[in-house]
Amino acid sequence: MKQLIECVPNFSEGNDLSIIKQITDAIESVEGVLLLDVDPGKATNRTVVTIVGEPAPVIEAAFRAIKKASELIDMRKHKGEHPRMGATDVCPLIPVSGITMEETAVYAQTLAKRVGEELNIPVYLYEYAQKDKSRNNLSVIRGGEYEGFFDKIKLPEWKPDFGPAEFNERAGGTVIGARDFLIAYNINLNTKSVRLANSVAFDVREAGRVKREGNPITGKVVKDADGNDVRIPGTLKSCKAIGWYIEEYAIAQISMNLTNYKITSVHTAFDEVCESAARRGLRVTGSELVGLIPLDAMLEAGKHYLQKQGRSLGVSESELIQIAIKSLGLDELGKFDPEQKIIEYKLKNAAEEKLINMNLRAFADETASESPAPGGGSISAYVGSLGVALGTMVANLSAGKRGWEDKAAIFSDWAELGQTIKDKLIKAVDEDTRAFNKIMDAFGLPKSNEAEKAARTAAIESATKYACEVPFSVMQISFDALPLLRFMVVEGNQNSITDAGVGVLCIKTALRGAYFNVLVNAKGLKDQAYAIEIVGKAKDLLKRNHEVCDDILSMVENALV
């Protein structure tokens, strides 16, 4: 698997778009780096940039961006709502795929060393890149902010990890580290009061608030036996939060960093803030994301609010996302475009989803054209997806049937399974065509000498094996849909029994069609042991499929006569 890391540098400029553009131009000057998102904030006077790529080019791009920011941003003139200590305030690296956190931390240390030595900027390491646990927390490091760091940096315990132990007046200091994926998330309130917003933030953030005697605001701070402040913890783990006023929108917000969204999700944070706000006579009016969010966080939010509504969870991915957007009010302050805000959607290659992004007519026209792809394999996968989609539809109709409330959860589970199978088969539509193209590419390799001939032969063999595996996978995935369809025929809404029956016919067709593709590709293999094995497994699966399909279809016919 290719090593991919994400880098999310935060620059202390959110108003001058020409400065932001020069910084992002420096990033994009590095080949192999994808600029995913640029999110400037006027009131915070801060821009969050998200880039992704293999480690070496990402580190180079981050260095160039930090260098450019130090040249363009004068911290002596900077004002903004967000805590900050430098032109590049913080620059975290996040492992995405094929790389460990430990490896990512080493890259962060390498970048920090270069920034400190070449740019003469004091650099502090944080999170997983910082070995000293007493100074690995970003908020602790940044305490005192830009204005307070001229004295703080002179303290022995705050000597920078890299760079001079003297604060850079123009560029300030920078914090570089390695961390888990963080969701920067702001929740909107129907007030302008920062005091009230902070009260809510202190209710929910993990650090909570200091305990006071008598008046919770002006009372004397309670100390423990060692003289440390006693704190009342907040309700949300892995959550940092403060209240602030955003002049751009004329509202106060709860500004959150969800440092582990698997522990505290966006919907949990939203609901908790709603409850705290209501206790204080406030109302949450919506929320906004700063930067990107993982797909599974949005899907889980959609399911959470569907469940609260008592609806089936087995809806499409796009519907789950829309429910999450509306429930969290992510579109209150501006348009929320999932294609631009969900990290997996930003990373996907549109060329790899050419077929499934076509409308019905375009797909049929492409199939009917003189091009050999999409062919029978892609069509088999698509037919299979339609079959399981019909079964899923019956499950959703049954879950919402009046008088069947006691069965709704069972049908919802079946519908969720159906959506999962459907999505796998839809992806296989393009995957089968890619498998065919791999064979064509292999045949097109040079063969002018013995070495090239050997490499070409090996590539053809490898591509042909893959072209067997894809349709065999379609057979397996399609077969997995039959328990769903059987349950819908026997237990589902009988008004839709014929829909389930047509779904079974689609699955039967999908398996035989994919089976044909296994056979035709296996014929071209030199590895006969492999060919015999995969054809044998395909034949066995086809036989079992026909038996199960015919049994279910008999049930449908018997119910109709």
Q: How many residues does the chain have?
A: 561
Q: Is the pLDDT of residue 351 over 90?
A: no
Percent of the chain with pLDDT over 90: 78
For the chain, give the mean pLDDT. 93
**Does the annotation mark 546 as catalytic?**
no
Q: Which carries the bigger pLDDT value, residue 139 or residue 534?
A: 534
For residue 215, name the pLDDT band (cuts at 50, 70, 90): confident
The model's pLDDT over 445-468, given as tens digits with 9 standing for 90+, comes to 999 999 999 999 999 999 999 999
Same-domain pairing of 508 and 431: yes
| pLDDT confidence of residue 373 | 76
Same-domain pairing of 340 and 368: no
70: containing domain: 4-178
Mean of the pLDDT values across residues 385-414? 94
Q: With H, G, I as helix, E, B as strand and everything else as coil, classify residue 162.
A: strand
The model's pLDDT over 28-39, given as tens digits with 9 standing for 90+, comes to 999 989 998 899
| pLDDT confidence of residue 490 | 95
Same-domain pairing of 150 and 192: no
The model's pLDDT over 113-148, given as tens digits with 9 standing for 90+, comes to 999 999 999 999 999 999 998 898 998 999 999 999
CATH code at position 218: 3.30.70.670
Same-domain pairing of 211 and 298: yes
Same-domain pairing of 152 and 191: no
Question: DSSP assignment, residue 228?
Answer: P
Same-domain pairing of 114 and 253: no
| pLDDT confidence of residue 100 | 94
Same-domain pairing of 110 and 239: no
Burial 112-143 (b: 16+ CB within 10 A, else e): bbbbbeebebbbbbbbbbbeeeeebebeebbe
Same-domain pairing of 357 and 277: no
CATH code at position 141: 3.30.990.10
Same-domain pairing of 220 and 106: no
Q: Give the residue among 500, 267, 416, 327 at the shortest CA–CA distance from 408.
A: 416
Q: Is the pLDDT of residue 217 over 80?
A: no
Same-domain pairing of 254 and 209: yes
Please pick, among 37, 39, 89, 432, the residue that the annotation labels catalytic. Answer: 432
| pLDDT confidence of residue 497 | 95
Q: Which carries the bigger pLDDT value, residue 230 or residue 392?
A: 392
| pLDDT confidence of residue 349 | 63
Domain final position from 305, 321, 347: 347
CATH code at position 386: 1.20.120.680
Domain final position from 313, 347, 381: 347
Q: Is the pLDDT of residue 434 over 60?
A: yes
Q: Which carries the bigger pLDDT value, residue 277 or residue 4?
A: 277
Mean of the pLDDT values across residues 177-190? 93
Please pick, among 82, 203, 304, 499, the residue that the annotation labels catalytic. Answer: 82
Same-domain pairing of 470 and 525: yes
Non-local (6+) Cβ contacts of 284 within 8 A are: 187, 188, 189, 190, 270, 273, 274, 277, 329
Among left, alpha and beta (phi > 0; psi -120 to 50; other), residue 374 is beta
What's the number of domains the chain is made of? 3
Distances (CA, A) of 196 to 250, 295, 348: 15, 32, 41
The model's pLDDT over 153-175, given as tens digits with 9 standing for 90+, comes to 999 999 999 999 999 899 999 99
Same-domain pairing of 457 and 503: yes
Give the number of other Cβ atoms within 10 Å of residue 371's Cβ: 10
Non-local (6+) Cβ contacts of 326 within 8 A are: none
Domain final position from 161, 178, 195: 178
SS (H, E, C) 416-439: HHHHHHHHHHHHHHHHHHHHHHHH
Mean of the pLDDT values across residues 59-86? 94
pTM, whole model, 2 decimals? 0.76
